[in-house]
Structure 1
Amino acid sequence: MSASLHASDVTDAARLPRRHWLGLSLGLGLALAARGGLATPAAGVPATDKRLPALIPDDVLLDYQRFLAGRDAVGISDFGGPHARRDVIEVLLMQQALALQDSELRLGLTPMPTSQRLQAELRSGHAACSATSYWREDFPQADGLLFSDALLGEGEFEVGFYTTPENERALSARSLRDLQGLRVLSNRSWRVDWLTLEQLGFTELQHVASWNLMPRMVQQGRADLLLAPFQPTSDLSMTVEGVRLVPVPGLKLRMRGTRHFLVSRTHPLGPRLREQLNAGLARLRQQGVVRRAYEQCGFFNARVAGWARL
């Protein structure tokens, strides 16, 4: 989730193994030093092609592969269906934007276990970019980083308060005052999320280091709520590693800030990558693709248009 606020259909199936990366040459004599992770070519790119290392949270990569189901990412025009969610769709938008502008900028997706590790790899120039968006406000110190044009603008990021179907107290909340007495999970590293909840007056705010732990904690009764984007399911529910969560009806939260792809300032192709990515994203917006993608995956959700915004 700051990778933020991401919901997943990840089940209890085995996670992706973390092996040492294969060196990824860019024809510039730059090889990616051996790091923990599994190098995965972007869909539709032959394994022999030279690829820019693009970093992605490991749970997002798993859902991305499930969503593609062998399809070519560049050719996809329907962004809905099983395993579609904001993070997954953003990986597709990045690849489609680059394909419109610069066919030489091909991506090799490499999973990262934490946001901190991802940032370190980008700042050092060992990787070229992130494959999903991040809050600009989460990076007060931007050394070593460049930012794409905003993928999501101010006020476009809306989320729900998710809980279990059995939590009657949470589901009966009808105002901010009702919510303030509930226990909410977040991560202090997600600056926008944490500060927003503090500013709204939540006093029972618990730090959890990993997103994947949060749904289970809510299920076990150790907390009442977590923040997550609305889903394309018929009842807006989401299932994370076997835990089903539903939103508190009638209430939503508009997050303040803008979201951007991260690009390495120290990578040899970083400036070129940002320039071509921005140009490609502009073309996708003009074609209506960006808006349609967020709508079809459920992130821009018409069914909550009338809900009270906190």
Structure 2
Amino acid sequence: MIVAVATTKNAIKKYDNLPESAKTVPLCNKNLPSEIKSRCIASLMILKNALKLGGINAQLNFLETPNVRREEDEIVKGYAVISSHLFSKSTIDQPKYKDKIYVSDPVIKDGEFEKGIFCLPGNHKIRNVRTIEELRKAGKPLIGIHWTNECEILNELGIKKIEKGPTTDSLFRMIKAGRADWIPFGFHNSKDLSVKRSGITLVPVKGLKFTLNESRHFLVSKDHPDGEKIFKALQEGIKQMRSKGLIKKLLTQGGYYCKTTRDWKILNSKEALVKN
């Protein structure tokens, strides 16, 4: 079955670059393809695998969007049947979407998605930060224009001056141009935990991270003719993958759960917020 998936240019490129062996479903949690190593690919493979387990052998037909928020728009309009990225609960829990979208069961539960503080390698003022107070004084953060949960967390940490950009590529360019000093990014599976985009490399501040306190979900269009069928298959597949521990393994391999940063200090933990 051809399944219309709204996603970004970057995700399409990464998926197309996968060998055919890595695209095969259903996946086995004992031997996951090593090429599944980024968050966008992990979520796409969770989607494809869940549909397979739910009874749909999906041939993904991508509808390219300039950013993740536009994925949501394409779903609401019924041009695509499902999103490839995962959306936070507050982003989609709005009256205007209530009759337009199905929301999957949580793929990432509350507090499971962790982000680090990423900056240019030469920005030692940011890289030397060790406390919330030092972070407030060290420089300005930069987030995507629709990163509502990240904005709330930064405000909770006492950080009020926040720069915003429209796309991930633009965020990297803005940091390079000195428009801001750091970006809250999820961790990747590179050896040094660095992230690269448009020829620009960012590195994390070692020892620090924070958690996003919202669950993350796939969106399915109610206005698309295949919407109800896709949603039912997705829900069944997510349930099976959860019971087998496969979702956690895919998310870990994709960088949502990073073993290297497991013991890093959580800046927005109750203990840290009390001290500051």
CA distance in 1, matches of 2:56, 2:231: 14
Cross-structure match for 2:13 = 62
Cα distance change on mapping 1:154 and 1:174 into 2, 3 Å? same
CA distance in 2, matches of 1:303, 1:72: 24
| Cα distance per residue 1:8-31 (max 9 Å; x no partner) | xxxxxxxxxxxxxxxxxxxxxxxx
Q: Which amino acid in the other structure matches residue 87 of structure 2?
A: Y
CA distance in 2, matches of 1:189, 1:233: 26
Cross-structure match for 1:207 = 164
TM-score (norm 1): 0.78
| Cα distance per residue 1:169-197 (max 9 Å; x no partner) | 00000011111122110123221122221
Aligned residues: 260
Cross-structure match for 1:40 = none
Cross-structure match for 2:65 = 112
Q: What is the CA distance between 1:104 and its match in structure 2?
A: 5.3
Cα distance change on mapping 1:72 and 1:254 into 2, 3 Å? closer
Cross-structure match for 1:167 = 123
Q: Which moved more, 1:264-273 or 1:72-81?
A: 72-81
Cross-structure match for 2:273 = none
Are 1:193 and 2:150 counterparts? yes
Q: Which amino acid in the other structure matches residue 283 of structure 1?
A: Q
Cross-structure match for 1:96 = 49
- For the Cα contact (< 8 Å) 1:232–1:299, is it kept in 2? no
- For the Cα contact (< 8 Å) 2:142–2:162, is it kept in 1? yes
Runs (5+) with no aligned partner, structure 2: 268-276
Q: Which amino acid in the other structure matches residue 183 of structure 2?
A: L
Q: Which amino acid in the other structure matches residue 114 of structure 2?
A: E
Q: 1:145 aligns with which of 80, 96, 101?
A: 101
Cα distance change on mapping 1:214 and 1:97 into 2, 3 Å? same
SS at match of 1:267: coil
- For the Cα contact (< 8 Å) 1:73–1:96, is it kept in 2? no
Cα distance change on mapping 1:72 and 1:188 into 2, 3 Å? closer
CA distance in 2, matches of 1:289, 1:275: 19
- For the Cα contact (< 8 Å) 1:187–1:194, is it kept in 2? no
Q: What is the CA distance between 1:124 and its match in structure 2?
A: 2.0
Q: Which has the higher helix share?
A: 2
- For the Cα contact (< 8 Å) 2:8–2:68, is it kept in 1? yes
SS at match of 1:254: strand
Q: What is the CA distance between 1:259 and its match in structure 2?
A: 0.4
Q: What is the CA distance between 1:295 and its match in structure 2?
A: 1.6
Q: 1:232 aligns with which of 169, 174, 189?
A: 189
Q: Which amino acid in the other structure matches residue 256 of structure 1?
A: N
Cα distance change on mapping 1:239 and 1:82 into 2, 3 Å? farther
Are 1:297 and 2:254 counterparts? yes
Cross-structure match for 2:23 = 73
Q: 2:114 aligns with which of 136, 152, 158?
A: 158
SS at match of 1:146: strand
Q: What is the CA distance between 1:243 and its match in structure 2?
A: 0.9
Are 1:268 and 2:225 counterparts? yes
RMSD: 1.9
Query: What is the aligned-residue identity percentage?
Result: 25
Cα distance change on mapping 1:86 and 1:115 into 2, 3 Å? closer
Cross-structure match for 2:274 = none
Runs (5+) with no aligned partner, structure 1: 1-49
SS at match of 2:146: coil
Q: What is the CA distance between 1:165 and its match in structure 2?
A: 1.1
